[in-house]
């Protein structure tokens, strides 16, 4: 790809442009890409958010996504657009299910399943809350892990196996609930990697730790409980379940600064110690 045709850096991309998918045949869409600070790989959260948006295009608007499950198959490239192929697995009276395969020229980069449900007038009980002594995002002692001009992210270490982030999307996306849901999917992949590294004997908790390891997201699941505004700070309360075989499992809850439990998530991460060449 010529220099003039290269994808823009994420600093210069409007989030709604990422969500704008061009139709390319029945239930097939193409989305733009961006370049991220860490080099020649797409951010997995971008691909998940776009795949979710593609699935939403094929579902009755009265049905809202309540969960998604995805596998990252190979790294995405910022040198070409991503093609999203949606399969309509089922449309029932209450639920609909979609499968989305995201592809580039090298092959499939993501496989995602999404389940949708009509709104039901049933009990709404929230158990997750913000920790009592949790430092707020405006606390000057927090380490800033933000990147680009799209993700604001600040780390909080609650316990040895419980590391979290305050995260919000720094983008004007209006009041469209679909855009905010996709924004939450985008943000959710920015939370698990550091907690996933935390049990490793070489982990210190400092920013240079990232240079010690080769890591990637392997699979990612997200459950949507309540609508939230992604321009508000969200507390990603992440808990590590340990490491084995170069893989670590992380799970957590997402609660807004105003106290709304918006989502829950799990992710398995790849974690390999860099070896001397």
Three-state DSSP at 17 gives helix
Last residue within a domain, chosen from 69, 85, 118: 118
Torsion of CA 240, 50, 7, 81, to 10 degrees: 120
- Residue-wise pLDDT for 223-235, tens only, equals 999 999 999 999 9
User: Which residues touch 247 (CB under 8 Å, ≥6 apart)?
Assistant: 218, 268, 269, 270, 271
Sorting pLDDT into bands at 50, 70 and 90, what band is 201?
confident
Alpha carbon 212 to chain centroid distance?
Answer: 23
Encode pLDDT of 80-135 as tens digits. Answer: 999 999 999 999 999 999 999 999 999 999 999 999 999 999 999 999 999 988 99
Q: How far apart are CA 140 and CA 173, in angstroms?
A: 28
Could you tell me what percent of the chain has a pLDDT over 70? 96
Residues carrying an active site annotation: 189, 217, 267
- The answer to whether 114 and 67 have CB atoms below 8 angstroms apart is yes
For residue 170, tell me if it sits in a domain.
yes
Could you tell me if 103 and 161 lie in one domain? no
Domain extent at residue 59: 3-118
Is 129 within the bounds of a domain? no
Q: pTM value?
A: 0.93
Q: How many Å apart are CA 262 and CA 265, to the nearest integer?
A: 10
> From the centroid of its chain, how far is CA 138?
23
Asked whether the predicted pLDDT for residue 3 surpasses 50, the reply is: no
Q: 149 and 103: one domain? A: no
At 2 the pLDDT is 42
Read off the pLDDT of residues 229-276 as tens digits, 9 standing for 90 and up. Answer: 999 999 999 999 999 999 999 999 999 999 999 999 999 999 888 876
Structural domain count of the chain = 2
What is the CATH number for 100?
A: 3.10.129.10
């Amino acid at each position: 790809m010529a220099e003039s045709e290269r994808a823009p850096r994420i600093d210069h991309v409007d989030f709604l442009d990422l969500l704008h998918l061009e139709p390319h045949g029945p239930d097939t869409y193409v989305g733009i890409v961006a370049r991220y600070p860490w080099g020649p790989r797409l951010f997995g959260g971008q691909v998940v958010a776009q795949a979710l948006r593609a699935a939403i295009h094929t579902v009755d608007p009265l049905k809202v996504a309540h969960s998604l499950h995805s596998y990252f198959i190979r790294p995405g490239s910022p040198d070409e657009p991503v093609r999203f192929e949606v399969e309509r697995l089922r449309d029932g009276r209450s639920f609909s299910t979609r499968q989305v395969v995201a592809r580039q020229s090298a092959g499939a980069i993501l496989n995602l399943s999404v389940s949708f449900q009509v709104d039901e007038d049933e009990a709404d009980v929230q158990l997750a809350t913000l920790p009592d002594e949790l430092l707020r995002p405006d606390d000057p002692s927090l380490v800033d892990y933000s990147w680009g001009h799209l993700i604001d992210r600040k780390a909080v270490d609650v316990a040895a196996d419980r590391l979290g982030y305050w995260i919000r999307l720094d983008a004007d996306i209006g009041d469209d609930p679909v855009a905010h849901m996709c924004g939450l999917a985008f943000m959710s992949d920015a939370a698990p990697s550091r907690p996933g590294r935390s049990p490793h004997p070489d982990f210190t908790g400092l920013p240079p730790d990232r240079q010690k390891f080769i890591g990637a997201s392997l699979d990612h699941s997200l459950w949507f409980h309540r609508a939230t505004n992604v321009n508000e700070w969200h507390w990603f309360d992440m808990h590590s379940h340990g490491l084995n075989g170069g893989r670590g499992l992380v799970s957590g809850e997402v609660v807004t600064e105003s106290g709304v439990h918006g989502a829950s998530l799990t992710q398995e991460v790849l974690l390999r110690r860099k070896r001397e060449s």
